[in-house]
Amino acid sequence: MKRTFKRIGFTIGAVIVLFNVVVMMHASKFTYFYDSNIIQPKTKPEQLSGWSKWQIMLTGIKAYKRPIVDSFLLPHQSFTVRTTDGEALAVWYAVRPQPKGIVLFFHGHGGNRAGVVAEATALYEMGYSVVLTDFRAHGASSGNVCTIGYRECEDVYAVYQWAQQFKQPTILYGISLGAAAITKALYDHSDLQPTKVILDMPFASLKDATKGRLRLMHLPEEPMATLLVFWGSIIRGFWAFDLAPEKYVQKIRCPVLLLWGAQDTRVAVHETNRIFSNLTLAENKTLVVYQQSGHQSLLVHEPKLWHTSITTFLNQ
């Protein structure tokens, strides 16, 4: 009988260890982008099936830095901005004659500055100079480790500091990861004082974002979400449970426009509502819900509403 119990205990222990090893591999790969000179197919968890899905479930998705395709048709400059912690950020800057201000764009996880060209072009046509930045570990910027906003906030701060030389009204526009990084930058740096902020589909916390990813794969949210965030903390050297835009927005004082798609399966409605509710110090705040859109370019999917909401906010 004792042997039987020992075998059962050993088996249970082995399963727990193996499960945690699998989770560690997922946490590591989700926060690391491999260098590549060619465009790799983007693997979406929700599109996987059969053996491919099982393979990804066991080892995680190997993600690559997506090479830049310069589809920015406006005349623009390309240069590098250095962060205080030593990263080199690749930037495009399109100067508008007699601009109303300057808009700094920050893309989402796994993307790059080419992914916000449509939004930047639209804001340029509205009368603004625009700056498009590759986060660290993305596009043509340095590094391979992505911390889902924790250290990317320093990228936001560096580009903002660079833009202050023009002494123009400065607007921060972030999509998903970009929005999360903006909130943390504003929380950490009291001298970061933009004129206005546009938060496009931000997650409420890293744990919420992890749950959203698990939902896409039709996997149980717990205990996987907690374990992924825990092991991500150990691997990347920061306490990821504290990464929470819903907390960071409490210090924002300038006007804020919050955008969300009602069909978004990554960011839940309760996350958006919590963020909006916590904007207690904002000079004014506006939430616009895009009924036909998911976690995607709201401009591309619902252009009329996007133009109306952006124009109205900027003209207030």
Per-residue model confidence as pLDDT tens digits over 176-185: 999 999 999 9
Token code pair at residue 18: 């193996």
Q: Determine the pLDDT at residue 46.
A: 54
Per-residue pLDDT reduced to its tens digit, 92-145: 999 999 999 999 999 999 999 999 999 999 999 999 999 999 999 999 999 999
Q: Which residues pair with 310 in a beta bridge?
A: none
Count CA within 13 A, CB hemisphere, residue 298: 25
- How confident is the model at residue 236, as a pLDDT? 96
The pLDDT-based confidence of 7 (bands split at 50, 70, 90) is: confident
Residue 41 has pLDDT above 60, yes or no: no
Asked whether the predicted pLDDT for residue 40 surpasses 60, the reply is: no
pLDDT, one tens digit per residue, over 191-228 is 999 999 999 999 999 999 999 988 887 888 898 999 99
pLDDT for res 150:
97
Tell me the C-alpha distance between 28 and 247, whole Å: 25
Which pLDDT score, from 0 to 100, does residue 179 have?
98
pLDDT score, position 57: 64
Helix (H) or strand (E) holding 290: strand 285-290
**Is a pLDDT exceeding 90 seen at residue 15?**
no
Segments of 115-269 assigned E as strands: 129-133, 170-175, 196-200, 256-261
pLDDT band at 14 (very low <50, low <70, confident <90, very high): confident
Alpha carbon 221 to its chain centroid, in Å, reads 20
pLDDT of residue 226: 96
Distance CA 173, CA 271 (A): 19
Q: Out of 3.40.190.10, 3.20.20.370, 3.40.50.1820, 3.30.1020.10, which CATH number does the structure's domain 66-205+243-315 have?
A: 3.40.50.1820
pLDDT score recorded for residue 90: 97
Q: How confident is the model at residue 38 (pLDDT cuts 50, 70, 90)?
A: low
Flag whether pLDDT at 50 surpasses 70. no
For residue 16, name the pLDDT band (cuts at 50, 70, 90): confident
CA distance 177 to 135: 10
CB-based contact 259:307 (threshold 8 Å): no
Predicted confidence band at 84 (pLDDT cuts at 50, 70, 90)? very high
Question: Which of the four pLDDT bands, split at 50, 70 and 90, describes residue 59?
Answer: low
275 in helix, strand or coil?
helix
Question: Between 22 and 60, whose confidence is greater?
Answer: 22
The domain segmentation of the chain, as residue ranges, is: 1-64+211-231, 66-205+243-315
Q: Is the per-residue pLDDT at 166 higher than 70? A: yes
pLDDT at 239: 96
Q: Tell whether the model's pLDDT for residue 170 goes beyond 80.
A: yes
